[in-house]
Amino acid sequence: MRVLILGGSREARELAHATAGERGLEIVSSLAGRVRDPHLPVGQVRIGGFGGADALRDWLAAEDIAAVVNATHPFAARIGANTAVATAALGIPLLRVLRPAWSEQPGDRWIRVADLDAAARTLSEFGDRVFLTIGRQGVGAFAALSRQWFLIRAIDPPDGALPPHHELLLARGPFALEDEIALLSEYRVDVVVTKDSGGDQTEAKLVAARAAGLPVIVIDRPALPPGVTAVDTVEQARDWLLRMVVHSDPESAR
């Protein structure tokens, strides 16, 4: 049974690893090709967009894909929507792996907003020195803010317009708590802006902000497309795939 794992996340790499060599399963991982030097999953990997929902549907049919696991980052909404449409058109099972969102802890000063534009609108209320940790995509939403100074952290440089006053910090997580605490202090940060990415790889900034008493603007996740089944963990996704194999070929369970 050929399975597509849509990747670009730690969960996707872990799932490819956890299912590698499983009898009856052939995994193909797909990356968008956004970062210059991606962490590659084990096994077959294809890189680059498919060209929209219809092209993805045609690719799935041509490659004889029998199931899809969307393990992309929680904010990768377009590929999620395209995958829901393409798999529904072909009647292929689809599972979303979605790590749990972060939750506010005692001492946190979070301001939850719906999207990047709302974060940019809210920002002026919380000070002029901003730690922008939303990755390289979406920084353009802050480009018109000329009063604030931004520390922009991303793996690769963002494309497009950037706010006039900024410093770019190129770095890939995980980040240690003591480093995050030092960074907030060194750059005299007033406010942190983050997506609600969840997971422990980039959580230390939230703990550091709590310790420093700083406000954090937390951008909510995009909604899941209707009808898509989601699980929290790689283990659940692996079990789902193994059940698929048994279902598609009961002989493989013997």
In the complex, least distance from residue 188 CB atom to ligand NAP, rounded to whole angstroms: 26
Burial of 128 (0-12, 13-18, 19+ CB in 10 A): middle
In the complex, least distance from residue 243 CB atom to ligand NAP, rounded to whole angstroms: 23
Site for ligand NAP (CB under 6 A): how many residues?
Answer: 24
Give the Å distances, CA to CA, from 236 to 74, 114, 209, 229: 17, 29, 32, 12
Site for ligand NAP in 125-164 (CB under 6 A): 135, 137
Q: Taking CB under 6 A as the rule, does residue 242 contact ligand NAP? A: no
Site for ligand NAP in 22-61 (CB under 6 A): 30-32, 34, 49-52, 56
Run of H or E including 3: strand 2-6
CA distance linking residue 135 with residue 78, whole number of Å: 17
Q: What SS3 class is residue 55?
A: helix
Of residues 35 and 143, the one with the C-beta less far from ligand NAP: 35
Q: What SS3 class is residue 241?
A: helix
Give me the amino acid identity at 151. L
Of residues 8 and 158, the one with the C-beta less far from ligand NAP: 8
Select from 3, 65, 82, 184 the one that contacts ligand NAP (CB under 6 A): 82
Residues forming contacts to ligand NAP in the complex (CB under 6 A) are 6-9, 30-32, 34, 49-52, 56, 72-73, 75-79, 82, 135, 137, 195
